[in-house]
Chain A
Amino acid sequence: MQYICLSCGHIYDEALGDPDHGIPPGTLFADLPENWQCDFCGADKSFFAPEDEA
């Protein structure tokens, strides 16, 4: 599943994870640490929404 940053449009893809920040592929969005931030703009996790709903 994909989540989109409502601040900049960056996509978090659960299948890919965020390896540059220690998040392995397959990590569910819900399992990301609460202090995880958008890789592109730095928005908080709370600024992401399911891509198909936003």
Chain B
Amino acid sequence: MTHFEKSPIPAHVPADLVRDFDYMNAPEGVDLYDWWRSIQDGPDVFFTPRHGGHWVLTRHDEIAHVMATPTDFSSRVHTLPAEGKPLRMAPIEYDPPLHTDFRRLLAPFFTPKAIGNLEVRARDLAVSVIDSLKGRGECDFVADFSLTMPIGIFMSLVDLPDGDRLHLLDVAEAIVRGKTPEEQGAGFMQAFAYLGAKIAERRANPGTDMLSAIIHGKIEDGRKLTDNELLGMGALLLAGGLDTVAGMMGFMAHHLATHDDHRQALLDDPGLIPHAVEEMMRRYEIANVARVVTHDLVLNGVAMKEGDCILTATAVAGLDERQYPDAMTVDFARENKRSLVFGKGPHQCIGAYLARTELRVFLAEWLKRIPHFRVKPGAKPIMVSGRANSVHYLPLVWDI
């Protein structure tokens, strides 16, 4: 079944709660987040026949509740459509307690001390790339910066050669935004082929990198990870590490290119940068993940059956007026900027501290060197929806 086809509506779904909504296909010519917010004009919970048929939550509190309650809502299905993945991705598609064991292997690489060492590299890399762009007076922010800087950090974390970067970006794109199970599955197969070779290398010659730690780490009663667990975990790291920070940087760069007052506020007081990062992450949340119902239950007055899939799109959670007054407005001084951008509960993103560090470094170093920039006149940035929203094209210009 492709995304163009619709699944039958299950008997337990009330007809008045059915909407035709395809979360991976925002209409052309509309603002991506206006489109996400518009689903809040309908029921708080509705059902769409797209992508195998699934529920959609439109409000922050229900999305937070589902994310934080793994006994009722399992991460066994973490993205939609459910059948797109040949293997389960550890740790996010596992529930506790095995999920906790997987996370324990990764945790040492994401402590503030470990990230502190990476921050130096992130800053050096950002400065080097920005300096190379500054004299040009223009760039495609995506191709020239956001697909370079954070990915360079990720490649060093897993000790992969920079020459593989473009190939892996294509793989991550298919995994994160492949619109059919076939497209996504092809991305996974490419990832597994690549990772299989790297795993064999690191088995023979372990290093101090994250991939080696996973290969040689132990879970449960002291066993090593199976080959399928290793491949699934590696694929998740590729998709998460290569794609998400780059996407968020694109939305932030676009926001600042189109809001002179916000850019000036950060130039006047760089101490605002951590607050600006939180607020822009709240306004432009990107991860559109899912859960599966573990037993028949009622959520927000709606009866759901075991096995029903639920889209818990953070992209819409951050735009909820019930949680954030004047939600579409970016306000660095907003009292409550706390969002679901990194998830909630046991599956909260383990890379959150690294992501925040990279975003803060990006803003600080970019604004020091290219303080005033705008979208190239006449050009049209491209923003797309998917399992993670992203910016595909962002032409910027500045005076030199």
Q: Which A residues are closer than 8 A to B by beta carbons?
A: 4, 6-9, 37-38, 40-44, 47, 49, 54
- Chain B neighbourhood of A6, CB < 8 A: 110-112, 352-353
Q: Which B residues are closer than 8 A to A by beta carbons?
A: 110-113, 278, 338-339, 342, 344-345, 348-349, 352-353, 356
- For the complex of A and B, list the 3 residue pairs with the smallest distance between their C-beta atoms, beginning with the closest: A42-B338, A7-B352, A54-B111
A7 near B112 (CB under 8 angstroms)?
no
- Chain A neighbourhood of B338, CB < 8 A: 37-38, 40-42
Work out how many contacts link A and B, with CB atoms closer than 8 A: 40
A-B pairs with beta carbons under 8 Å apart, 19 shown: A6-B111, A6-B352, A6-B353, A7-B342, A7-B348, A7-B352, A8-B278, A8-B352, A9-B112, A9-B353, A37-B338, A40-B278, A40-B338, A43-B342, A43-B348, A43-B352, A47-B348, A54-B111, A54-B112
- Chain A neighbourhood of B349, CB < 8 A: 7
The residue on A at minimum CB distance from B360 is A9
> Shortest CB–CB separation between residue B215 and chain A, in angstroms?
24
Known: A8-B352, A42-B338. 9 other contacts (CB 8 A): A6-B352, A9-B356, A41-B278, A41-B352, A43-B348, A44-B345, A44-B348, A47-B348, A54-B113
- Chain A neighbourhood of B344, CB < 8 A: 44
Complex-state Cα separation, A44 to B343, whole angstroms: 11
Complex-state Cα separation, A21 to B112, whole angstroms: 25
Which residue of B110, B111, B353 has the most chain A CB atoms within 10 A of its CB atom? B353
- Chain B neighbourhood of A43, CB < 8 A: 342, 348, 352
> Shortest CB–CB separation between residue B97 and chain A, in angstroms?
14
B112 near A4 (CB under 8 angstroms)?
yes
The residue on B at minimum CB distance from A39 is B338
The residue on A at minimum CB distance from B345 is A44
Given A37-B338, A40-B278, does the pair A8, B356 have CB atoms closer than 8 Å? yes
> Shortest CB–CB separation between residue B68 and chain A, in angstroms?
8
Complex-state Cα separation, A54 to B109, whole angstroms: 10
- Chain B neighbourhood of A38, CB < 8 A: 338
- Chain B neighbourhood of A4, CB < 8 A: 112
Complex-state Cα separation, A54 to B112, whole angstroms: 6
A7 near B353 (CB under 8 angstroms)?
yes
Complex-state Cα separation, A41 to B341, whole angstroms: 10
The residue on A at minimum CB distance from B349 is A7
The residue on B at minimum CB distance from A41 is B338
